[in-house]
Structure 1
């Protein structure tokens, strides 16, 4: 096993003084990660971080309505790497239901322990648990309808995973290191099962902290494409949907506020739907069948050879051509008919 020197990785591009218009018209369409320094430096919660963990905790507690949330707890031997247990039947942490205030108290109690247990108040929607927080700490790039979630921990490590949503993650206290990989590095990241995973998203089985290149040799290729950034209180990062990311909390007390959006398609039009259907229909068919359907997808869906229906007169292209509400409705009805008929 060999340690990875993250100082050798490419730095994520930084763009200063971004406003909502520039974010929507330039950064979002580019679909590349960007560090947004000092984006939320004026937040009241970020200003409390200058006074220390106790001040941040006291500020957050005033919003706590007493509704329990999920708190992950792991023993010191995990070194904060929240992942699978050795046999993958279970995980190396326990889930508790506690209030945000109780979780904060637990974190403050272990702050000065040299080898503490690890505590992670995970993915807590602030409107449901800390009402009023979002109004005092608004995201300057997004509409208020995109609600924040809060993540509070000591020096934990979120393993390589991705999301089907865009993400703006804002560091309110502590320091965090983000290591990102482009979507196409899936083939080199040794991603685990979809159904059985620590926190709702499939994670890499390869450790970024202690990489085993004998067991996971393709990880070395993934690292050639990795980008890294360390964020201070007030800094934020935009992570486009599908980008793989590893997040390491570097301080004894850390607060992150993030925003997910962009994956609001109806069930039938959500890209995950055809992917799961393809797992059922195509994964175990013959090589000849796979070759045929790969050609169909490449030609008609991904259009790898240009417009696949340019030779068909407009008005006769049907579902293979440009879509309008009537055509989409017809496709949905055809899908429903297949489901009702048992898909023969």
Structure 2
């Protein structure tokens, strides 16, 4: 069930004094996408890209560890639109193991000759593939655990998907177009399999379909809710976790750097793990029982009316007291005993 409200994206200038706590307070807590124009305009990579693709390639190769990574390689007929095949069994592209140097060369060749296959390589951890790169690309308001990843390729489109971490996406070369849908559009995007994906995350099949596609009638309710954002080199987009985004690289040669982190984590456990466990524990119970569990999840977890023990003094909240006061470990230990059957 969707709310019918269009997605909202605001623009703001990066605050020079932001630290992780300030960014969480001023931006991330609202769980809304925010465009940060010019955040990476002074990065060495962005300046090199402004001069030429070759200068950017030379800059990157200066850090190259020589590792191979998986690249998507698409025939000219797909126009860089990497997706499932017609039957959802396979995909409309091939996968090849390439080094960074090979990928850069193949991107340049395809950009010069549209008859060549397009190439896309994404999510390369800079600390592994480009050791030293992160020193030139630090973002002061991100926690130290948020490390840069590199995404590069020809003009193309990555299918609509979500991340389970907060995401800061910074354009270095080319332009990017993000088409965004809020998390509550999940039921109308006709999401594909969660265990047979192109790159790890399930995708909204309807978002890339032609208008009026009879396979996805509910999508027409949310098509106009999308927000479209275009980023130039140096611009960045903060994407909260669970926001759906289709990403288009608009130039023949493109490079993006992103960072993933969880700004509100209380420990190692992630919400998506809880969701997966709830699927096997609750999803196939009778409707009336699922409704009863929904009431308990609302009361104890989502807390629309505040703390579930607000009628008691804090000293009597027990393990429902603040997680930072030792209750995270107590609850986790209890859960682990239950999972072991203890």
* Aligned counterpart for 1:13 among listed residues 5, 10, 15: 10
Q: Would the aligned equivalents of 1:178 and 1:248 in 2 still touch at CA under 8 Å?
A: yes
Q: CA distance change for structure 1 residues 313 and 325 in 2, over 3 Å: closer, same or farther?
A: closer
The number of aligned residues is: 333
Cα shift at 1:279: 0.8
Alignment partners' CA distance in 1, 2:231 and 2:328: 43
Deviations along 1:52-103, whole A, 9 cap, x unmatched? 2222212211211211122111112222121211111122222222110111
Q: Would the aligned equivalents of 1:177 and 1:228 in 2 still touch at CA under 8 Å?
A: yes
Cα shift at 1:274: 2.1
Q: How does 1:156-175 map to 2 (within 5 A)?
A: 156-175=156-175
Q: Secondary structure at the match of 1:284?
A: coil
Cα shift at 1:275: 1.2
Q: Which deviates further from its counterpart, 333-342 or 32-41?
A: 333-342
Deviations along 1:215-234, whole A, 9 cap, x unmatched? 21222222332111111111
Cα shift at 1:140: 4.5
1:31 maps to: 31
Q: CA distance change for structure 1 residues 142 and 341 in 2, over 3 Å: closer, same or farther?
A: closer
Q: Would the aligned equivalents of 1:11 and 1:228 in 2 still touch at CA under 8 Å?
A: no
Consecutive unaligned residues in structure 2, runs of 5 or more: 1-5
Q: Secondary structure at the match of 2:114?
A: coil
Alignment partners' CA distance in 2, 1:200 and 1:160: 12
Consecutive unaligned residues in structure 1, runs of 5 or more: 1-8
Q: Secondary structure at the match of 1:194?
A: coil
Deviations along 1:302-342, whole A, 9 cap, x unmatched? 22344433344554443445546454343333322322228
Q: CA distance change for structure 1 residues 150 and 318 in 2, over 3 Å: closer, same or farther?
A: same
1:44 matches 2:44: yes
Alignment partners' CA distance in 2, 1:99 and 1:59: 15
Q: How does 1:150-229 map to 2 (within 5 A)?
A: 150-208=150-208, 210-229=210-229
Q: CA distance change for structure 1 residues 50 and 213 in 2, over 3 Å: closer, same or farther?
A: same
Q: Would the aligned equivalents of 1:149 and 1:259 in 2 still touch at CA under 8 Å?
A: yes
Q: Would the aligned equivalents of 2:7 and 2:180 in 1 still touch at CA under 8 Å?
A: no
RMSD: 2.3
Alignment partners' CA distance in 1, 2:82 and 2:28: 30
Deviations along 1:194-244, whole A, 9 cap, x unmatched? 111100111111143634442212222223321111111111111111111
Q: CA distance change for structure 1 residues 254 and 20 in 2, over 3 Å: closer, same or farther?
A: farther
Q: CA distance change for structure 1 residues 157 and 262 in 2, over 3 Å: closer, same or farther?
A: same
TM-score (structure 2 length as normaliser): 0.89
Cα shift at 1:13: 2.0
Deviations along 1:127-179, whole A, 9 cap, x unmatched? 11111222223334435542100000001111111111111111110111011
Alignment partners' CA distance in 1, 2:317 and 2:338: 21
Q: How does 1:125-144 map to 2 (within 5 A)?
A: 125-144=125-144
Q: CA distance change for structure 1 residues 322 and 14 in 2, over 3 Å: closer, same or farther?
A: closer
Q: CA distance change for structure 1 residues 311 and 265 in 2, over 3 Å: closer, same or farther?
A: closer
Alignment partners' CA distance in 2, 1:261 and 1:137: 16
Q: Would the aligned equivalents of 2:109 and 2:116 in 1 still touch at CA under 8 Å?
A: no
